[in-house]
Amino acid sequence: MASERKDVVDAIAQSLKAIDDDYTEEMRELRTLYEEARREAEKDEPSDVKLKALLQDANEAARAFATLDPLWQAVQRVSRLFGIG
């Protein structure tokens, strides 16, 4: 069980690094969910229910971001054309 938990913590840490490397403001909510999930997974006796809920929320947020990212990029391009920035 401890090795499974370490795998979860490592996977969350990799996700956080990817967010930090590629995004900033746009991923603040997702990063917050991953941070909370990591803290829960690192506990001596983590709540499986809480951890699962946090990771499901993060999954939904990531899906929403992936869906909306192209639209957001288009809005940013158009706003730059008008000097908004």
What residue spans define the domains of the chain? 2-81
Query: For residues 8 and 4, what is the distance between their CA atoms, to the nearest angstrom?
Result: 6
pLDDT at position 45 is 93
Q: Quick: pLDDT tens for 28-77.
A: 788 888 899 999 999 999 999 999 999 999 888 888 877 777 776 777 77
Using the predicted structure, report yes or no on whether residue 25 has a pLDDT greater than 70. Answer: no
- What is the distance between the alpha carbons of residues 29 and 7, in angstroms, rounded to a whole number? 23
47 or 25: which carries more pLDDT confidence?
Answer: 47
Return the pLDDT at 66: 76
Rounded to 5 degrees, what angle do the CA atoms 78, 83, 85 make? 80
The C-alpha atoms of residue 77 and residue 55 are separated, in whole angstroms, by: 32
